[in-house]
Amino acid sequence: MFKLLFKNMKAKQWIAVVFIFLLTLAQVYFMMTIVSYIGLLTAAVGAVGQDGTTAVWLNGLGMIVCAVAMVIVDIIIKFIASATASSTVTQLRQKLYERVNEFAIADFASFSTESLITRTTNDMQNVHLAWLTFLKTAFVAPVTMVWSVILLATQANAKLTIVTVVWVVLLVAAVAILLFMVTPKFRIIQKLTDALNVSSRENLTGVRVVRAFNAETYQEEKFEKVNAPYTKTQIFIGRVLAFFTPFVMMVMMGLSLSILWVSSYIINGLSVEAATKAFNSTNSFVMLASQIVMSFILVITLIVIWPRASVSAKRIHEVIAHSVSVLDTDHPVEFKEKGTIEFKNVGFAYPGSDKEAVSNISFKVKKGETIAFIGATGSGKTTIINLIPRMADCTSGEVLVDGVNVKDVLQSDLRDRIGYAPQRGFLFKGNIKDNIALKDPNMTLADVKWAAEIADADGFVMNKRNGYDSEVAQGGSNFSGGQKQRLCIARAIAPKPEILIFDDSFSALDYRTDKIVRGRIAERLPEATRVIIAQRVGTIMDADQIVVLDHGQMVGLGKHKDLIRNCPVYQEIALSQLSKEELGL
């Protein structure tokens, strides 16, 4: 955990930590001065006459001044500690978020979405709490303890020292047992938190399916299977920790009582003057011993928090330290062409798989041409087009865009040339204009409307009360499937890219709208190279090239009129949708 935090601290935070340490020295100095004043005050109370009264007032005033100074210093320490802890964890959270944004498809297989959310929120909270507690107590406890031990040594009372050591050892042993019992449970809690998030997210995302099948009871039972062990584990930890506070109070009271009890035997039989001196010494000893125990309590408070925070820090570190599978080259090259795509014997295997999902894929698309992919579900269509913007890297062969290998250019430069409409229409919370202008927030309303008109979205947008300023709910849940797809198409078109990728982006559109949108794209963006995945033959019949896929293999490449006669797989797909007359057979 220290390694994780120290790596993410800036100079100003290191300065703040040093300042906290210096303030802690001042705070402990005032604390110890109060202890010495107590001894002086006790002696002054026993004195007779004006000198004794004056000493009482002076020592009492000194105690008040030190107490006020200690409170002020404590407030300053807590203020600086809070600001330092919050800023450090904010930087850590930002770094985690940026690393997740760098993940390729293969990297997300290592962490579930729910686990990443838990690590960004719950785990980060645990680290923040531990770091804040550390800054507040980590310096106070050892400094107070060392100072108290030094002052105790000056008392030179072996019996009272032995009594103090016995109680402190008892306290340390109890804490060791407590940590042994709860530390494994904290690891379990974090895993169960992931599982709770998975169950909750699944139920909320699929709420329509759950209700359609009257599966509420089934989902509740699934949730209970996770919720019950989570609750039991939390109760166990709570019960163990509940033992801590009363036990510490018992140690505090027992230590004071033991010192007084042993002191009574020491004082018994002494002269009045010697007894008074011994009594003053006992008071000081009780105060110093209490300070040692209080220091242990501060350390123990941190130790109790630390195991859970340590587990959380490890989970955060796993994400930050994860080696991203798609990295930028150190020596990027310039693009040689414009709007071209070429695959040379490309193959791709998902992590952990012995078999390639697609293999031996070869084709070339020129500027302004349209290439389409068709095949059964699971044949590798989406896998292939994900290799173009480097959502993943091919495991064999080469993928070239604009005449250069995609691995030899910066990802940002590559994706600046590509417009992408995903298979599942996804919109971001905000408004319609911001969603369409996602690639360029400074895009004018005229450009946004231009893209929406091409995607046949301008009509339903202008029918809304606020037009392009209309609200978009999270995930675009306040739009139909066809509306979401058209807005996603508009978003891909808006920056006028060299290459347009449509991953089955016309599936929710009727045949008429499908034809209109594709016609407008070809008319308004004639120089853009178009890559289309489609299940409908009618969507791809006019493509310059059609790639037919079957179980990850390319079984056909050519125009519709050639494939319909020469490719059995394409012929089978086409005849399942259109008649022989419609296909020209």
pLDDT in tens, 551-575: 889 999 999 888 888 889 988 888 8
CA 107 distance to own-chain centroid: 15
What pLDDT is attached to residue 123? 87
Report CA torsion sign: 139, 145, 148, 150: negative
Alpha carbon distances (Å) from 166 to 251, 254, 387: 10, 11, 68
pLDDT band at 343 (very low <50, low <70, confident <90, very high): very high
Of the candidates 289, 256, 263, the one whose C-alpha atom is nearest the C-alpha of residue 277 is 263
Delineate the domains of the chain, giving CATH numbers in brackets: 2-320 (1.20.1560.10), 327-417+499-521+529-585 (3.40.50.300), 423-496 (3.40.50.300)
List the structure tokens of 270. 């002494």
What pLDDT is attached to residue 577? 82
What pLDDT is attached to residue 152? 65
Assign residue 390 a region (left: φ > 0; alpha: ψ between -120 and 50; beta: otherwise). Answer: left
Enumerate the H helices of 138-215 as residue ranges: 140-155, 158-205, 207-212
Q: Which is higher by pLDDT, 57 or 315?
A: 315
CB atoms under 10 Å from CB of 37, counted, come to 21
Phi and psi at 541, nearest 5°, equal: -60, -30
Share of the chain above pLDDT 90, in %: 21
What pLDDT is attached to residue 500? 94
Residues 6+ apart with CB under 8 A from 525: 454, 493, 496, 500
Report the pLDDT averaged over residues 486-504. Answer: 92
Phi and psi at 289, nearest 5°, equal: -65, -40
pLDDT in tens, 425-461: 888 888 999 999 999 888 999 999 999 999 999 989 9
Kindly report which listed range (63-72, 183-192, 258-267, 394-403) carries the lowest average pLDDT score.
258-267
- Cα–Cα dist 384/381, whole Å: 5
List the structure tokens of 27. 């705070």
- Per-residue pLDDT at 283 exceeds 80: no
CA 460 distance to own-chain centroid: 37
What pLDDT is attached to residue 367? 92
- Cα–Cα dist 310/351, whole Å: 29
Question: Are the CB atoms for 133 and 299 separated by under 8 Å?
Answer: no
User: Please, what is the average pLDDT of the chain?
Assistant: 83
CB atoms under 10 Å from CB of 387, counted, come to 21
Q: Which is higher by pLDDT, 430 or 292?
A: 430
In the chain, count of helices (H) and strands (E)?
23, 12
What pLDDT is attached to residue 449? 94
